[in-house]
């Protein structure tokens, strides 16, 4: 649902409503507003309040990151903070992920984010094997090249990791998403 182009809040709400396969009448009823007002918001004839944006986002089950996008499009400050996996405030979440990874022993397990960046893994040697298998099928897969380089660094294979990092840089040179972190 996300796009880099600037879009007005009404268009975004309409996109989410259609994505959820709701009619204006259904969404308006769920949000306790008139269908006419929702139509005016979607067409830009009315500006929703911050509370209205949040209410509609809640009824549409919009992810928090996208709720921030709706708020910004409506001219309001984002409400939900985005944090990196290694943020100190997420210590309990990291412990839970590590517990899940440990529970998968002796089998390899990976925790990845929405951009397929490696956040954590229970065993770097096995992670290396997973990335190598993927690269055998898709030789220039930037995500796998990056993960392989990080797992190699974690194992102390610095020279090989540097070579893979150069391959990643070449493969990823035209990408629109920057890979900036990994747990390896």
**Does the pTM of the predicted model rise above 0.75?**
no
φ, ψ of residue 76 in degrees (nearest 5): -110, 160
User: CA–CA separation, 17 vs 66, rounded Å?
Assistant: 13
Give residue-wise pLDDT tens across range 161-172: 899 999 988 888
Give the model's confidence band at 108: pLDDT under 50 very low, under 70 low, under 90 confident, else very high: confident
For the chain, the structural domain boundaries read 9-73, 88-171
Q: Are 31 and 60 in contact (CB under 8 A)?
A: no
Name the DSSP letter for residue 89: G
Task: Please name which of 59, 54, 58 lies closest in space to residue 26, comparing C-alpha atoms.
Answer: 59
The CATH fold assigned to 9-73 is 434 Repressor (Amino-terminal Domain) (1.10.260)
Give the model's confidence band at 68: pLDDT under 50 very low, under 70 low, under 90 confident, else very high: very high
Out of 4-8, 65-69, 90-94, 150-154, pick the least confident: 4-8
* Other CB atoms within 10 Å distance of the CB of residue 176: 5
The pLDDT assigned to 182 comes to 52
Query: CATH number of 88-171: 1.10.3470, 1.25.40, 3.40.33, 3.10.450?
Result: 1.25.40
CA torsion 12-17-20-24 (nearest 10°) is: 180
Q: Are 146 and 127 in contact (CB under 8 A)?
A: no
Which residues, 6 or more positions from 69, have their beta carbon under 8 angstroms from its beta carbon?
Answer: 2, 12
User: CA–CA separation, 115 vs 112, rounded Å?
Assistant: 8
């Amino acid at each position: 649902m996300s796009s880099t182009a600037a879009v007005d809040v009404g268009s975004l709400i309409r996109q989410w409503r259609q994505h959820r396969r709701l009619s204006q009448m259904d969404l308006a009823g769920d949000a306790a507003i008139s269908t006419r007002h929702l139509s005016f918001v979607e067409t830009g004839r009315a500006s929703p309040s911050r509370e209205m944006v949040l209410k509609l986002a809640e009824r549409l089950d919009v992810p928090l990151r996208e709720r921030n996008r709706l708020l910004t499009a409506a001219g309001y400050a984002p409400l939900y903070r985005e944090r990196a996996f290694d943020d100190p405030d997420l210590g309990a979440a990291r412990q839970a992920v590590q517990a899940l990874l440990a529970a998968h022993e002796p089998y390899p397990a990976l925790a990845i984010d929405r951009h397929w960046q490696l956040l954590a893994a229970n065993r770097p040697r096995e992670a290396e094997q997973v990335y190598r298998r993927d690269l055998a099928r898709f030789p220039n897969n930037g995500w796998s090249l990056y993960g392989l380089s990080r797992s190699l660094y974690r194992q102390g294979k610095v020279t090989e990791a540097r070579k893979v990092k150069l391959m990643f840089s070449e493969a990823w040179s035209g990408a629109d998403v920057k890979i900036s972190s990994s747990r390896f």
